[in-house]
């Protein structure tokens, strides 16, 4: 059975490089249409049910604003 995951993103720390969006193998993330306080569009989780807790987004994030959790599924 595949792992299930959950991620959280600190919108204010995100500098919107979108490396996490490109790194996600199951396309959980995309650019948010709403800006953060610095006027950038941070990443957001849109398909959380697809998350497999692989940690790829966490590994590539230069600002360490993503946390990945493995959940019971």
Reported as a single tens digit per residue, the pLDDT across 29-55 is: 999 999 999 999 999 999 999 999 999
CATH class name, domain 4-71:
alpha beta
Residue with tokens 């959980």: 28
The set of residues, in sequence order, having a beta carbon less than 8 Å from that of 17 and lying 6+ positions away, is 62, 63
Classify residue 50 by its DSSP letter: G
List strand residue ranges (DSSP E) for 1-72, in order: 4-9, 29-31, 43-45, 66-71
Query: Taking the model in full, what pTM does it have?
Result: 0.89
**Residue ranges of the domains in the chain?**
4-71
């Amino acid at each position: 059975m595949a792992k299930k995951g959950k991620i959280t993103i600190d919108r204010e720390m995100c500098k919107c490089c979108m490396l996490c969006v490109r790194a996600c193998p199951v396309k959980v993330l995309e650019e948010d249409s709403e800006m953060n306080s610095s006027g950038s569009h941070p990443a957001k989780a849109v398909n959380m049910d697809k998350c497999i807790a692989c940690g790829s987004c966490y590994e590539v994030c230069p600002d360490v604003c993503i946390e990945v959790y493995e959940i019971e599924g």
